Structure 1
Amino acid sequence: MASSDPVYLRVVEDIRRQITDGTLPPGAPIPSRAQLTRKYQVGETAARHALRVLAAEGLIFGRVGSGHYVRERPDLTPLHRWRLHDQHADLQAQGQRVTWDWHSELVDATPEIAQRLRLEESAPVTRTHYVFRGDGNPLQLATSYERPEFAPHAEDERRSVVNRMSAHGVKITEIIESVHTRVPRPAESDALHLPTGVPVLHLKRTHWATDRPVETSDIVIPGDRFEVVYSVPV
């Protein structure tokens, strides 16, 4: 590390290394602030800041009156994005009971959604919020936007977008996704039961019928539980 780096980073780097290589396994206690100041010859402020950074990275968690401990790192579950007709086949194949809640409402398209659906700004769209669960635990959030004539109904609860559009005589020819990571919003952290410091994967997915976008979604997935797997035909 450069000599100009803040001293707390020396503490962060060493503890992060110990967690990564298994020297500090899941559940192991992290030295207290007083112990850190003695071990690394840093001040109280630097020790406190180091613990905050490690917690923000999702590597450790605190217990009131007990101290900090190494957080359990769960195995990542693959979500195969080529399974277009059943997004949750992977979870169901692993024995999880997948359920979801949803509700729809008619809203004015925001500038971004209007652009994604090639609509006039403030044009009416049907917005549908989904919360997906596996064995009762929250797994994924999704918000879908469609033209009002394609809005899902109660009988459509278990039908994919491809099948629903087909019922309207619309053939989906392409699905385009982009993925980025970001800090979750407070409501997303609450809904997904995310620990402090865990990012989310944000997928923007749009269904196209030839050159016409007919549905677009924002999908939010916990970054510490899943890896997104794509298949690219050659």
Structure 2
Amino acid sequence: MTFGEQPAYLRVAGDLRNKIVNGSLPPHTRLPSQARIREEYGVSDTVALEARKVLMAEGLVEGRSGSGTYVRETPVPRRVARSGYRPTSGSTPFKQEQADETARGTWDSRSEQVEASSVIAERLGVRAGDRVMCTKYVYRDAGEAMMLSTSWEPLTVTGRTPVMLPEEGPLGGCGVVERMAAIDVIVDNVTEEVGARPGLAEELMALGGVPGHVVLVIQRTYFASGRPVETADVVVPADRYRIAYHLPVK
């Protein structure tokens, strides 16, 4: 192979990708078999197999047990808008984070006290092993799982208060800002870091993805006078959603 020349499996994958993009291989069409790819492109079984693996890793095709490999329906990405804190005025924080005003957002949640891992302890400014309230969420739009979130709050802040459980009590379901204000903790800053990684098996199962799919991870932390009072990991499937920021200039 000369400098700049693509490996054979990438050339085959590229040609098949173009056929998927231009509609020659429309959604739900069965991908040519390994034997047919080998014959059509004059390549080995190994090259044909690797080309199919590339398309599967890119999320363009999916395997169906006992049936073969098929072109996936390409979703049209929706926006998840993140525009900073706004008073809820009766609207849930989750509703505010959806760009489409007609979206029908619901969620399930489960809270439990756990010991802070070294990573979470560092993010919350507490000691590893300190007790924190961990809440796991599955967010849905019109019944479809669209986002996962795991939050941690130090019990040194919320323990034995009416807001100790984020989804229960008089302020259950309200945002962090409102809940903390109820116990005289004034949130004045929030940071978010966005990254991407392959989804974990349990995440993809919950979100309806396939192995190898990439997820966007938003690492968010709320602060009150420099003290972290909540940190969370928000997980969104990268092929179905885009994170859109609209931040005020002060």
Matches of 1:77 and 1:227 in 2, distance apart? 6
Matches of 1:121 and 1:111 in 2, distance apart? 5
Which residue does the alignment assign to 2:36? 35
For 1:197-212, list aligned pairs within 5 A: 197-212=212-227
Which residue does the alignment assign to 1:173? 188
Which residue does the alignment assign to 2:141? 134
CA contact (8 A) 1:92 1:98 kept: no
Matches of 2:175 and 2:147 in 1, distance apart? 16
| Structure 2 residue identity aligned to 1:124 | R
| Number of corresponding residues | 234
2:102 maps to which of 88, 95, 101: 95
| Structure 2 residue identity aligned to 1:28 | T
CA contact (8 A) 1:78 1:90 kept: no
How far 1:120 sits from its partner (Å)? 1.6
Matches of 1:92 and 1:14 in 2, distance apart? 36
Matches of 1:222 and 1:68 in 2, distance apart? 22
1:152 maps to which of 165, 168, 178: 165
| Structure 2 residue identity aligned to 1:112 | V
User: Which ranges of structure 1 fall in alignment gaps of 5 or more residues?
Assistant: none
User: Which ranges of structure 2 fall in alignment gaps of 5 or more residues?
Assistant: 159-163
Which residue does the alignment assign to 2:199? 184
Which residue does the alignment assign to 1:107? 114
Matches of 2:209 and 2:101 in 1, distance apart? 22
CA contact (8 A) 2:81 2:99 kept: no
Matches of 2:97 and 2:109 in 1, distance apart? 21
1:30 partner SS = coil
| Structure 2 residue identity aligned to 1:43 | S
Matches of 1:157 and 1:225 in 2, distance apart? 29
How far 1:202 sits from its partner (Å)? 0.8
Matches of 2:62 and 2:177 in 1, distance apart? 42
1:163 has 2:178 as partner? yes
How far 1:20 sits from its partner (Å)? 3.1
| Residue deviations 1:50-102 (CA, integer Å, cap 9, x gap) | 11221121011123444322211111111111153523336484533221111
Say what the alpha-carbon RMSD is for the aligned residues: 2.1
How far 1:15 sits from its partner (Å)? 1.4
| Structure 2 residue identity aligned to 1:176 | T
1:120 partner SS = coil
Q: Which moved more, 1:77-86 or 1:49-58?
A: 77-86
| Structure 1 residue identity aligned to 2:114 | V
